[in-house]
Each structure stands twice: as C-alpha cells, then as structure tokens.
Structure 1
Amino acid sequence: MGYILIIGIILAAGAVVFALVRGLHAFANMDVNDVDENGIPKGLEKQNGMMFARVKWQAITVIMIAALLLFASGK
C-alpha cells in the first residue's frame, strides 16, 4: 500500500509542476491587446484554469502524503 501511495504522490507532484509550467507559459504569452468584449485579456482564462488545476493537484498531493504518514505510523 505504501508503494502505491508513493507512486501516486510522485505522479500528483508531477501534475502540479505541469500545471505550474502551463500557467507560466500562458502568462508569458498573454497578449494585452487580445481582449474580449469586456476588456479582459483572453489569456487570463487559461491562467485561472491552470491556477485552479495546480491548487487541486497540490491538495491531492497533500492528502496522499497525510495518508502515507498515517499508514506508516500504523505499522
């Protein structure tokens, strides 16, 4: 069980890094002149989506680490 949690933690942490890099890439390539009808940059939606994905994967990673600690302390 512990090995499965460790692999899950590694995969979830990789997803955090992936979402972070995609969010930074969207931020770096945002065109200030490319706005919608409300004057909001279109790249902002991609940035927000990646931010929420990063937070989601961070929470999943923290929960898996807590489960691993509980599992390890029970032995």
Structure 2
Amino acid sequence: MLRDDPLFYVVVAAVLVVLAILMIGIGGFAKGGEFNRKHANRLMRYRIIAQAVAVVLILLFVWLRRGMI
C-alpha cells in the first residue's frame, strides 16, 4: 500500500513544495509591485529546481516500486 511507503510521503512533500512556490509566484505576479520586481526571478529558479527534484523523486519512486504490487 502506498501509505506504508515513506518515499511516497517524500514525493508528496516535494510536489507540495513545488505547488507552494508556484502559488507564491503567481500571487506576486498578480499583485505586481515591489515584491514581484524583487523576487519573481528567484521564485522561478526555486520552482524549476524544486520541480526537477520532484520529477527525479517521482521517477525513483516508480522505478523502485515497479513490479512490487
């Protein structure tokens, strides 16, 4: 079962981190102003890095769990 697998929770946490960064970036873009000018590029870089980590973790999870049903 997926709930018994600690790697599943790591993958979920990584995806939620990506979602949080994305929501902060979208909120800053929508609001505009000083926050967006100051942090937009940094948030984009953080999102891309977090997304890459999440994809690697998802692939690792699938690779380790394939055929173990």
Regarding TM over 0.5, the answer is yes
1:58 has 2:51 as partner: yes
User: Which protein is richer in helix relative to its size?
Assistant: 2
Name segments (4+ residues, structure 1) moved above 6 Å: none
SS at match of 2:5: helix
TM-score, normalised via structure 2 length: 0.77
Tell me how large the CA RMSD over aligned residues is.
Answer: 2.0
Q: Once the two structures are aligned, what percentage of the paired residues are identical?
A: 23
- Counterpart CA distance in 1 for 2:17 and 2:30 is 20
Count of residues in Structure 1 that have an aligned counterpart in Structure 2 = 65
Asked which structure has the greater CA Rg, the reply is 1
Q: Deviations over 1:5-34 (max 9, x none)?
A: 110110010001100110011111213xx6
Structure 1: gaps of 5 or more residues:
35-41
Aligned to 1:5: 7
1:68 has 2:61 as partner: yes
Q: Deviations over 1:29-69 (max 9, x none)?
A: 213xx6xxxxxxx6233111111111111111111111112
**In the TM superposition, what is the alpha-carbon distance from 1:74 to its structure 2 partner?**
6.5
Structure 2: gaps of 5 or more residues:
none
Aligned to 1:38: none
